[in-house]
Chains A and B, each alone.
Chain A
């Protein structure tokens, strides 16, 4: 049977490595694993993407439907992000009602996309106060080897890019599922990127494997767009000094530029 949790001995060893600026897989502390982005992976979705970061893999799909707007935004489309940690993707995930981790992940991704105004929701209004488009971003894990958060963030952006709007019959007021217009979901030019930094002991690392994630004491996820920060979430209970926090911001800024280039290249 497989070891599910990282053993205390392994944890000690990982920490020792970190103190020397090293990692088990030979990466530097601020280095990502290989990122592979593939779009258009599901024919029936409005947009879809498969993102692999090392052995971690997520599948993200965008679907749309016409519904009523929220009372506080009668002239704007709706955005709904959901995430499912499929039991298929890890021996740790069990079937059943959503666990905190998947709820948090969906909410963190939602806020990154929403606050950066990446989707021009005001252009998704059909009739003010009555009918608007709802954009669903559904995230599914395929294999969890750490850093699902960043994989999901990249996946959401990749799936949105080039997502087509379905046909809509004004007379019947129904969406014609399976038929698409030539229009894409209206998006802002710059892409928001959601990235996470973990703190272990005195070390700050990006893109942890599952083993490394297990010993993470605290994490900060930031969605930023061209250096401007749009959303942030600190996870786990350990505190972080202001000095360290500034280092986190530096790390994120550097990583954002790097990842943005990768995404843009993959989406060309």
Chain B
């Protein structure tokens, strides 16, 4: 119901690339792209391409980071220097450090690795090409790679960026929309949902009312279905290849 309302209010609103407010860019998903890894996946939405590889469970190094009570999940998000128009200095940054942790939190509710005491499951995410919503693409790829690696999971997760441009809610932001300046400007809300519809990750930058935020979450829920189908199809396809 709420999504319907937001659609109505955005009726005359034109997105820069002509998409409908609840239209994702084209999704391409593939599993099994890194032969060395225990599990790997690519998730692309439009021009944003993220890949993820899973190694483990394996003994945690350094040893002092081991948790004797349960297994750990360790995510590492990185953008290639040439993934954006202005070269990024290679190596970790404050931004990538935060996104790595956010990704970990987004995935932790669904991975069941408690019994791998003192072990770690490493998830390496790399953005090959960026046009906004990279952390969402990274989380979607990571979920698929974990499933591909056979890590016990309650379900996959789906991540999508919802934006408020001026007063209008839209799904899956592109760079041009992230930099929106007209009216109330841009509010960027990346959201990750579990299969149960619970929120495992949400961030927000901008300005939004409580009512519209609820609508944004509803929109994310609606969008997650399409992402789930793409993830499921890619995982099935690789299963059949074997």
Chain B associates with chain A: yes
Contact A91 B55 (CB under 8 A): yes
Q: Could you tell me the distance between the alpha carbons of A46 and B87 in the complex, rounded to whole angstroms?
A: 10
The answer to the question of B16 belonging to the interface, with a C-beta cut-off of 8 Å to chain A, is: no
The answer to the question of B83 belonging to the interface, with a C-beta cut-off of 8 Å to chain A, is: yes
Chain A minimum-CB-distance residue to B55: A91
In the assembled complex, the CB of B66 is this many whole angstroms from the nearest CB of chain A, namely 15
Contact B81 A61 (CB under 8 A): yes
The answer to the question of B85 belonging to the interface, with a C-beta cut-off of 8 Å to chain A, is: yes
Chain A minimum-CB-distance residue to B47: A43
Q: Could you tell me the distance between the alpha carbons of A44 and B38 in the complex, rounded to whole angstroms?
A: 30
- What residues on A are CB-neighbors of B82 within 8 Å? 42, 44-46, 48, 61-63, 136, 138
Contact B124 A87 (CB under 8 A): yes
Q: Could you tell me the distance between the alpha carbons of A89 and B76 in the complex, rounded to whole angstroms?
A: 13
- B76 touches which one: A84, A87, A91 (CB < 8 A)? A87
Contact B80 A138 (CB under 8 A): yes
Number of interface residues of A (CB under 8 A): 35
The answer to the question of A95 belonging to the interface, with a C-beta cut-off of 8 Å to chain B, is: yes
- What residues on B are CB-neighbors of A142 within 8 Å? 34, 51
Q: Could you tell me the distance between the alpha carbons of A43 and B35 in the complex, rounded to whole angstroms?
A: 25
Contact A177 B86 (CB under 8 A): yes
Residues of chain A at the chain B interface (Cβ within 8 Å): 1-2, 41-46, 48, 55, 59, 61-63, 65, 82, 84, 86-91, 94-95, 136, 138, 140, 142-145, 175, 177-178
Known A61-B82, A94-B61; 16 more pairs at CB < 8 Å: A2-B38, A42-B80, A44-B84, A61-B81, A61-B83, A65-B86, A86-B78, A88-B51, A88-B52, A89-B34, A89-B36, A91-B55, A91-B58, A95-B92, A142-B34, A178-B85
